[in-house]
Every structure is written in structure tokens, then in C-alpha cells.
Amino acid sequence: MNSNGYPASSFKIPTVKFTKLFINGHFVDSLSGGEFETIDPRTGEVIARIAEGTKEDIDLAVKASRLAFDHGPWPRMPAVERARIMMKWADLIDQHVEEIAALDAIDAGKLYHMLKAIEIPATANTIRYYAGAADKIHGEVLKPAREFHAYTLLEPVGVVGHIIPWNFPSIMFVSKVSPCLAAGCTMVLKPAEQTPLSALFYAHLAKLAGIPDGVLNVVPGFGATAGAAICSDMDIDKVSFTGSTEVGREVMRAAANSNLKPVSLELGGKSPFIIFDDADLDKAVELALMAVVYNKQQHIFISDNYLLLLSGFQGEVCAAGSRVFVQEGIYDEFEKRLVEKAKAWVVGDPFDPNVQQGPQVDKKQFEKILSYIEHGKREGATLLTGGKRVGNKGYYIEPTIFSNVKEDMLIAQDEIFGPVIALMKFKTIEEAIKSANNSRYGLVAGVVTKSLDTANTMSRSIRAGVVWINCYFAFENDIPYGGCKMSGFGKDSGLEALHKYLHVKSVVTPIYNSPWL
């Protein structure tokens, strides 16, 4: 048994092979020689020391990326050849699924068996999706009113800076890098300081696949130094950031103060999950729990006779449906069943296949979640279950449910990024719409109902980038994902993600003596 009382895992953790910066096709020490520790959230112990990139290292990576874009083969390569290399990269990921899954499990506390079975294979398939789009990038012929022939070209935007979060180390890496590569761009990526291991491994595989030097650079470091340098660099043409709304503001400010580079931002959320009286109660309970104690890029479908629930994690996902609104006719029974389900939830070592929820990513996030739970108690919400640390080592927290929540409470307004549900009751559809939109965020929403009229009304009325009807976390490569309001702008996934790395150029020539316009 381990110190938390869970069966000790027999899984052999692989040796961490890559701990240096990846710049211009090579693993190198930081120019300062500085390093930082990456921590195992299962134990709080050090996994490895990672080279710490700072402004000088970002400058070096940008220089390599600039050279690769302005003079290298990648943007000039036939698109079908770019696609071939990307396909090879995806195949290499498939060949190293177990090792990558273990890296994300020890670095982020994610469930190993779900990473191996679903999330890491999904990263390879995301690369394949955008590889398939690489040779389908084209503009259109226009019809001017005067005597001109006009058309548009879609050209790569240039050098891109990516800054990704720690909750989905693999999925976020490929969701940024894949469409960017397909578009013909070059890039510098900063992984979250909490989870740099898989990003460096992906860089190694990209090199083996044949992606030219300088096209993909990976520079671990901290937001205030490496991240800030990316946002303010005069030689970066675009920034794509996923993270908190607060940091998103800083990204926009730095971009504006430098070269007015465009930015795309996928930011925080405090998403409503709305359950109507006519819902299938058992399935609604399952969805409500999974909509918050979840950290996995996969699908949860619900229908009259089919429910697929693939994993539950630690609530560290910006799309968590943490504001749960239940219509009054079923509220009492729903609350009872949800609490029963949460109490049976298995929290523990992410290498244990019986575990449904691993640890929070680090001590800071762990303490932040516990502080919000204390806020909820002080503000008068009723703690139905959970609210405590699990075990005495590592960063494990019980699934936590509050009732009697008021919409102005912190636990109903702030993004907690942890396994905390705020339960609220509503009477009418008008009340549900008003409550759903009572948030500064607008990322996603979930609705459970058997009424097509209700589903249509809710999906048209909620201000969010995605509305899931009778399902939750229904992510697909071809479904655009991104928010509105203070959840940001720009899309990851779908062809919209490809287009944000493309510049539209109009070309116009005069027409002489044409028999028609």
C-alpha cells in the first residue's frame, strides 16, 4: 500500500529522457544554465530538473523559427509532403503510446489507463486530421463589379508563438501545433512549467519524423519570463494562448505593445449545466458528475438507451459544467442521487485502473481549490459531500458538492478548476436562460432535456461558444471549440483552427476587352 492507502502501482515509470530546451532541432541547455523542478502530484516529489528558458532562449528559438520560415523548406514544401511528414509523426506517437502516457500521468496526475487507451491515440489522430487538410488550403475567385480579375490566396501567417496549459499536456500541444504545421508556419511553443515532459518528447518524435530544424521549437519556462518574451517578441507574427482570463489580458497587452501581432485566446469558463424535469434522471446524474470531475479529451454521449462514460478526473478543465441548474420538479431526487454517486467516486493513484480521479496538478492548485471550498462554507452554501483532502501525501481532493448556492457566491462565479459542483434550482426556462448567462464567461454549456423545443430555445439563447445537448465533452477534431465574452476568441479544432494560422491576401489585375465581367 502507498501512503494514501491505495494499492501500490506495479507500473514501471519510464526514465525521463528529455529535459533540455528543443531549439533549431537540437536539445540544448538554457543560456543561463538555469533549471526548475517538475513535480509528481501523486507524491509531491521531484520527477526531474528541466532547463529553464528565459527571454534570451526565446530570442534564440524565434531566430531559428524566423530563419526556417523565411528561407527554409517547410513553407515552400508541397503540401502533400508536409502531410506525409505529419503522418509519420503521428505513427511515431502511436509507437510510443505507453511512454508518453506515463509521462503525462506522473507530470499532470492524469489517469494512465485512459491516457494510453484514448488521449494519446487521440493526439496522433489530431495530427492526421490536419495532415489531411494540408493540401486543401486554397482561396477563391472573386467577382468585382468593375473590370478587374480578383482572387484570394491563403498564406501561412509566419512565426507563431504557442503558450499551452497544464491540464491537457498532449491534447493542447497537438491542437496548437498540428494546424499550424499544416498551414506551413513555423513556431515556438512554451509548455506549462508544471507539465513539460511530454512536449519535449513530442519534439523528439517530430525530429525523427522529418520536420525540418527550426520549424518546431519547444522552450519550457515560466509565464513571467519565457511566456512574456513570446508575447512581446517583434519577430513573432501571431500568438495562440490557452489559459486563464487574467493571463489572457496580459497576452493581449504585450501583443499590442509590441508589433500588434494578432492573438487567439481560449480562456476560462464557469459553464452552466442545465437539467430539465423531463430528463432521464440516472443519465443526467452521471453527466452532471462527469461534467466537473473530469479532465479528459474524449466523448460522453447520452441517448434514450446508450450512455458512454469513459473517464472521470480532477475537474481541471476550462469547460467543466460546474454550475449545475436543476428544474424544481426533479431537484430533490437529483441531489440525492448525485451525492450518492459522488461518495462512491474512487480517488487515487492514476496508475491504478480502478481509480476514477487522480491528484490535482500541484500544491498551488490544490490549495486554491481547498480555499474556494472554505469560501463556499463561509458564504452559506451547504456542503453535501466532499470538501476534504484525501490521504496525507500528494494533492488529492474529494469530489465536492454544494447546495443552496446563490448566484453571486464566489463558488458560482469564479473558475475553481477543481472537483467542485455548485447546485442550484430553477422553475422556468426563462429563469434557466437568465441564470446560464449570469457569468462573465461564455465557453460552453450543457442542456439535458427530451424536448426538441426546449433544446432549440436553450441552444439559441445561451451565450457560449459550444452548447452540448444531451451530452457533455463531445469533442471532435472537426468541431470548432472556443468561447465568447471573457472566455476569449478564436477556435481550436475544426478547419477554423487551421484558418487562424493563414493570412488572406487579395490579388487584383485589370481586365481589358473582356466579352463579359
- pLDDT given at position 306: 26
CATH code for position 455: 3.40.309.10
- pLDDT given at position 488: 96
Considering the domain boundaries, does residue 14 fall inside one? Answer: no
| CA–CA distance, 512 with 509 (Å, rounded to integer) | 10
Judgement on whether residues 83 and 185 belong to the same structural domain of the protein: yes
- pLDDT given at position 288: 87
C-alpha distances (whole Å) from 42 to each of 259, 280, 365, 391, 417 are 42, 36, 13, 11, 18
Q: Is 496 exposed, middle or buried (0-12, 13-18, 19+ CB in 10 A)?
A: middle
| CA–CA distance, 332 with 353 (Å, rounded to integer) | 33
- Which range of residues forms the domain containing residue 62? 23-267+487-504
Q: Is 496 a catalytic residue?
A: no
End-to-end CA distance of the chain: 80
- pLDDT given at position 294: 54
- pLDDT given at position 30: 98
The per-residue pLDDT string of the chain (517 residues; one tens digit each, 9 = 90 and over) reads 343 444 345 567 889 999 999 999 999 999 999 999 999 999 999 999 999 999 999 999 999 999 999 999 999 999 999 999 999 999 999 999 999 999 999 999 999 999 999 999 999 999 999 999 999 999 999 999 999 999 999 999 999 999 999 999 999 999 999 999 999 999 999 999 999 999 999 999 999 999 999 999 999 999 999 999 999 999 999 999 999 999 999 999 999 999 999 999 999 999 999 999 999 999 999 888 887 765 433 333 333 322 223 333 466 788 889 999 999 999 999 999 999 999 998 999 999 999 889 999 889 999 999 999 999 999 999 999 999 999 999 999 999 999 999 999 999 999 998 999 999 999 999 999 999 999 999 999 999 999 999 999 999 999 999 999 999 989 999 999 999 999 999 999 999 999 999 999 999 999 998 887 7
Considering the domain boundaries, does residue 11 fall inside one? Answer: no
φ and ψ at residue 100, rounded to 5 degrees? -65, -40
169-183 and 79-95 helices, crossing angle to 10° = 160
Judgement on whether residues 201 and 319 belong to the same structural domain of the protein: no
The residue annotated as part of the active site, out of 52, 119, 266, 335, is 266
CA dihedral 449, 452, 454, 456 (to 10 degrees): 120
Judgement on whether residues 196 and 288 belong to the same structural domain of the protein: no
- pLDDT given at position 513: 86
Considering the domain boundaries, does residue 480 fall inside one? Answer: no
Contacts of 89 (CB under 8 A, 6+ apart): 127, 205, 206, 209, 211
φ and ψ at residue 175, rounded to 5 degrees? -70, -25
* DSSP letters spanning 442-491: ESEEEEE-S-HHHHHHHHHHS-SSEEEESEE----TTS-B--EETTEES-
Judgement on whether residues 347 and 242 belong to the same structural domain of the protein: no
CATH code for position 214: 3.40.605.10
Q: Which of 98, 120, 122 is nearest to 12 (CA)?
A: 98
Considering the domain boundaries, does residue 474 fall inside one? Answer: no
- pLDDT given at position 318: 86
Judgement on whether residues 444 and 494 belong to the same structural domain of the protein: no
- pLDDT given at position 175: 97
Judgement on whether residues 277 and 407 belong to the same structural domain of the protein: yes
∠ at Cα 292 (429, 362), nearest 5°?
150
Q: 474-482 long-range CB contacts below 8 Å, 24 or more apart?
A: 474/299, 474/300, 474/301, 475/297, 475/298, 475/299, 476/299, 477/125, 477/126, 477/129, 477/130, 478/129, 481/266, 482/264, 482/266, 482/443
Q: What is the pLDDT of residues 396-426, one digit of tens each?
A: 999 999 999 999 999 999 999 899 999 999 9
Judgement on whether residues 187 and 135 belong to the same structural domain of the protein: yes
Q: Say how many domains are in the chain.
A: 2
Radius of gyration of the chain (CA): 24
Q: What is the pLDDT of residues 109-144, one digit of tens each?
A: 999 999 999 999 999 999 999 999 999 999 999 999
Q: Which of 71, 43, 336 is nearest to 213 (CA)?
A: 71
Judgement on whether residues 326 and 309 belong to the same structural domain of the protein: yes
- pLDDT given at position 10: 56
Judgement on whether residues 52 and 66 belong to the same structural domain of the protein: yes
Enter the C-alpha cell of residue 429: 426556462
Considering the domain boundaries, does residue 355 fall inside one? Answer: yes
- pLDDT given at position 304: 31
Judgement on whether residues 208 and 286 belong to the same structural domain of the protein: no
Judgement on whether residues 332 and 254 belong to the same structural domain of the protein: no
Considering the domain boundaries, does residue 514 fall inside one? Answer: no
Judgement on whether residues 316 and 255 belong to the same structural domain of the protein: no
pTM of the model: 0.92
Considering the domain boundaries, does residue 249 fall inside one? Answer: yes
Considering the domain boundaries, does residue 44 fall inside one? Answer: yes
- pLDDT given at position 299: 36
